[in-house]
Structure 1
Amino acid sequence: MSELLLANESLIRITLFLAILVAMTAWEAVAPRRQRELSRLLRWSNNLGLVLIDRLLLQLSFPIFAVGLALLAEERGWGLLNSVELPFGLAWLVSLLALDLAIYLQHVLFHAVPALWRLHRVHHADLEFDVTTGLRFHPVEILLSMGIKLAVVAALGPPAIAVFVFEVLLNATSMFNHSNVRIPLGLDRILRWIVVTPDMHRVHHSIHPNETNSNFGFNLPWWDRLLGTYRAQPQEGHAGMTIGIEQFRTPRELWLDRLLIQPLRGPASGYPINRETDAK
């Protein structure tokens, strides 16, 4: 079964990607959390255009991706988990937790270093919050993220099937927790103990820096709770909060050309963690 999944990795991932995108789009249409104010055609065409550029650059820049590197590490005995004897189930669980923690720490890093924030703010400068926001990342950030992920896989030596499952989950939860969907509050309170929900992650996309610098998790909500970055609700409520950052607030800034050059424009502002203006 594992061999079949890995042999068809690309097909499975693109199929699941499209299925989840369609499902979340339908959910957003039936039960939106917030009223949509901007043209979906404007935002979606540019956000998804960025996705296509990201994918093309990844294919051109890396001869191997995370699952392929995990297979190579298994074959050559690279990494911690290939050097110790652990039951497969435990190695699989440790791998998922370690990879998720690495993504959390990477996310914090991109908020803490002003030069990295310039890249990551392309994601935060979206003026609305929906399923395509979870796919909107600057190409240079995507390349750096892949490099970090490959370094973690090489050092950890996780089972390839665990890396495959993690990659699928990361993509799926990113679309889920960025979606503009309404979940009953009681159910949301339960779900956010096991997965990052849209209401939990929406706080992270608030215009207020103290809220932007909270709720960094993508898959699991535990790191935010354990490491003191959890914030339950936005101060202005989900319906009243302003999405985005203080810069780049006109519809023209949503165009693909502006997204690509955005890291070179303007100051890093007060959003990077521990900057003087962040404390105001």
Structure 2
Amino acid sequence: MAAYQILYLISIPLVVAAEYRFTRNELVRDRYDRWFNNLSLGFINEALLLASPVWISLFLLPASPSPRLNPLLAALIAFLVLDLVSYWLHRAYHHFSALWRLHRVHHCDLELDYSTTFRHHPGEVLVSLLVIYLLMATLALAPSQVIPYVIAVKAAQLLAHSNIRLNTRAESLINLFFVTPGTHQYHHSRQQPETDSNFGEVLTVWDRLFGTYTCPLCSPTPSGFGLNEFSEASDQQLGALLAMPVRPFRKKGTGSRHG
């Protein structure tokens, strides 16, 4: 296991402790049941990530030699390109019905905390992996150029989904460049116009640039999280989450999409 993965695992209990000390929203549901379901998806997806270098290479042509760039400059360029592509991929998950069927597993969580970070359908992880590997092959990105972004996106998403309340000054300063819990909560709102905003994975600049930014200082706090059509307790269980991409919508309404 890489050193950055070990550090990431160590940071999780620190985030949980911070959620208890600096709680943003009161959690009223059975957190241990949520944690079991969300973390179970995380373990499945981590297994796919560990296996991906073996099988994904079968579908990719060998990359051409990368140009000789300063390592720091190359890593910075790779960081910006990867985050820009991740932004548009995230928008695609919301725009295209087939992709939304996968991504709605992440969005139907009725509360937000660190465990929501791991709540992704394995099918979504496979699609995202394929896009990233194709991008690496096309641009001849070396793993050493990609790892800084991997570390940043893991840290940013763990913070963004956490139930931590930052003070107003810290929130506004960090949010100038990076996604914060106050920013990302709108993306998980039950109100679809808010859900279709703040797509950035690490940086907020893309949302500002492409007109999808909801400012946490200028908007009321979301009244609730999740999707109305998947709000029953039975919808939140691991089996239901894995089967969700092939399930029809039961109703249409606020926070829902045609699927």
Answer yes or no: same fold by TM over 0.5.
yes
2:40 corresponds to: 49
1:21 corresponds to: 12
Runs of 4+ in 1 over 6 A off after TM superposition: 270-273
Counterparts of 1:198 and 1:130, CA distance in 2: 9
Seen in structure 2, the aligned counterparts of structure 1 residues 65 and 21 have a Cα distance that, compared at 3 Å, is: farther
Deviations 1:159-195 (A, max 9, x none): 4322111111111111111000010112111110121
Where in structure 2 are the equivalents of 1:103-182 lying within 5 Å? 103-182=86-165
Out of 170, 184, 192, the residue aligned to residue 209 of structure 1 is 192
Deviations 1:205-229 (A, max 9, x none): 0001100000000111100000110
The range that moved more, 123-132 or 159-168, is 159-168
Post-superposition offset of 1:267 = 3.0
Counterparts of 1:262 and 1:228, CA distance in 2: 30
Unpaired segments ≥5 residues, structure 1:
1-9
Question: Aligned AA for 1:20?
Answer: S
Out of 169, 176, 185, the residue aligned to residue 186 of structure 1 is 169
Q: Is the 8 A contact 2:38 2:115 kept in 1?
A: yes
1:6 corresponds to: none
Out of 260, 271, 276, the residue aligned to residue 242 of structure 2 is 260
TM-score in terms of structure 1 length: 0.83
Unpaired segments ≥5 residues, structure 2:
none
Question: Aligned AA for 2:225?
Answer: I
Out of 29, 45, 50, the residue aligned to residue 38 of structure 1 is 29
Task: Name the count of aligned residue pairs.
Answer: 254
Counterparts of 2:108 and 2:160, CA distance in 1: 17
Q: Is the 8 A contact 1:120 1:137 kept in 2?
A: yes
Post-superposition offset of 1:57 = 3.4
Seen in structure 2, the aligned counterparts of structure 1 residues 222 and 65 have a Cα distance that, compared at 3 Å, is: farther
Out of 201, 208, 231, the residue aligned to residue 249 of structure 1 is 231
Counterparts of 1:236 and 1:223, CA distance in 2: 19
- What SS is found at the alignment partner of 1:237? coil
Seen in structure 2, the aligned counterparts of structure 1 residues 85 and 183 have a Cα distance that, compared at 3 Å, is: same
| Cα RMSD (Å) | 2.5
Seen in structure 2, the aligned counterparts of structure 1 residues 17 and 64 have a Cα distance that, compared at 3 Å, is: farther
- What SS is found at the alignment partner of 2:162? coil
Identity %: 35
Counterparts of 1:208 and 1:150, CA distance in 2: 33
Deviations 1:110-169 (A, max 9, x none): 001011001000000000011111111001000111001101111122343221111111
